[in-house]
Structure 1
Amino acid sequence: MRPYLFALSLAAALAAGAAQAQPTTVVVRARALDAKFIGTHVGGAQVTLTDARTGKTLASGKIEGATGDTPKLMVQPAARNAPLADADTARFTAQLDITEPTLVRAVVRAPAGMEASSTLWVLPGRNIEGDGWVLSFPGLIVEPSAVVGADRKAMVHAKVALMCGCPIEPKGLWDAANYTVSAELTRKGAEPVRFPLAYAGTKSEFAAPTPTPLAPGAYRLRIIATDATTPNAGVADTDLVVK
């Protein structure tokens, strides 16, 4: 074959290969274990899609939107393959230009430092829509705080919620009676002070005073929350200074 004919053939082959790239839609969602979808209410979740074999980043963005239909997700019996998400349910939508089957890795970073990852074969032109690619997030969001009074006792508070921000309350869908919340105050050279927190009368709020006055110094406050019915748990630390 003459050189110029070979060059033309090669160019045509490359053009044909490039033409095979097809925009492929991939919808990614994050759902809290035993709860609803993670979305804007808790700050969303960051998504990165990469080629699992090469490490190349294919798309990135944020899951945003609503937590979903409560009756459909938490009350009605789930029928196999029945859609759970609606048009408003939180999601990240990526458009991937791929020319061949690609093993894609999704890494999703949610609130409270939680992360989940999964891999999935994505084929050119085979859109992943509807409920999409759903990653599950066990855990609880815990936000601790404390105020020291003149008597050197501290009133310790903790806001505890599901990863979707869904509230915990007595006799609610997430019953406060199923959750154990405790506090631990540690100070260098002293025995830890541990005590339980009780539901404080407001959704997701737990509180209790320290059992005794605290000696002056710098403390580390740790809140631990667990659910008796699922693996869900959360831990958060903050600093506390007693003068």
Structure 2
Amino acid sequence: MRLIILLLSLTLGIMAGFSAQAEPTEISIHVLSKDAKFIGSSMGGMRITLRDAHSGEILATGLTTGGTGNTKLLMHKDGGRRAVIVDKTAGGFHTTIDLDEPRLIEVEAKGPMAQMQSAHRIVSSQWVVPGKHITAGNGWILELPGFVVDILSPPAALKMSSDTKVVKISANVVMMCGCPTEPDGIWDSSKFEIKAIITHNGKKDGTLDMVYSGPKSQYTTSLPIDKPGLYEVTVYAYDPSNGNTGLDKTTFQVLGK
């Protein structure tokens, strides 16, 4: 019995020794909208999850909060980015985890959470050593590609009378950070391709150019109706300079006579 107690005491002592070696390690995660600014509270934040890449153990989770960052730090008038782009105005997720050994940590970012029709996920990983914080400079930045495209009209599953001749299609198109798009703006939509793909009863029925209508970030087109049936509308935004792409879909039905 004494031997068992002694072994148990030694085991607990060793475990306590390992626990005492754990060091608080600070990590700051920022998610940058491709070709734009940081994704923070105005877009519902990004859901951040830190895992041990080998075991899958979840180490921390939460939302990015805060602003979109400093435009002057982020954007050159002729394109490109500066070396340090994070300041106190940049939204992020900040956490402290206890590490007792180096771990390969995987970060997953999903969102933006307030625009789920445009949300998707990105994953990044890197080694983190106990006590060696990932906070200096820009911290740990992930870049989220895409546009937030939100079809405003027609609403989904709308049924229209057989007398319908024209359907107005309108959409709001912003960067993933919520930054506005407009012709000749910082995010110059005259350089983007914004179109509506139309299908009728499951078959492609043409593509329409979306035209800037104002206020900022809003685009419209008109779809002539010459036959009843089920229509699906896919509005997409595409930047040919870097491949950035986003879209949204809706459906409506024109009833027969």
Match of 2:134 among 107, 128, 152: 128
Q: Which residue of 2 aligns with 1:216?
A: 228
1:72 matches 2:73: yes
TM-score normalised to structure 2 length? 0.85
Q: Classify 1:206/1:59 alpha carbon distance in 2 versus 1 (closer, same or farther; 3 Å).
A: same
Match of 2:200 among 181, 184, 187: 187
Contact 1:222 1:237 in 2 (8 A): yes
Question: How far apart in 2 are the matches of 1:79 and 1:182?
Answer: 32
Specify the SS of the correspondent of 1:168: coil
Question: How far apart in 2 are the matches of 1:37 and 1:133?
Answer: 12
Structure-to-structure mapping, 1:98-177, within 5 angstroms: 98-111=99-112, 112-130=118-136, 131-147=138-154, 151-177=164-190
RMSD: 2.1
AA aligned opposite 1:138: P
Match of 2:241 among 196, 211, 229: 229
- CA apart distance, 1:214: 4.1
Specify the SS of the correspondent of 2:190: helix
TM-score normalised to structure 1 length? 0.90
Q: Classify 1:104/1:97 alpha carbon distance in 2 versus 1 (closer, same or farther; 3 Å).
A: same
Question: How far apart in 1 are the matches of 2:148 and 2:213?
Answer: 17
Structure 1 unmatched runs, 5+: none
- CA apart distance, 1:57: 0.7
Deviations 1:50-85 (A, max 9, x none): 1000011111111111000011111377554xx322
Specify the SS of the correspondent of 2:250: strand
Structure 2 unmatched runs, 5+: 113-117, 155-159
- CA apart distance, 1:14: 2.0
- CA apart distance, 1:5: 4.8
Specify the SS of the correspondent of 1:144: strand
Q: Which residue of 2 aligns with 1:40?
A: 41
Ranges of 4+ aligned residues in structure 1 off by more than 6 Å: none
Contact 2:164 2:254 in 1 (8 A): no
Contact 2:29 2:92 in 1 (8 A): yes
AA aligned opposite 1:12: G
Q: Share of identical aligned residues, percent?
A: 32
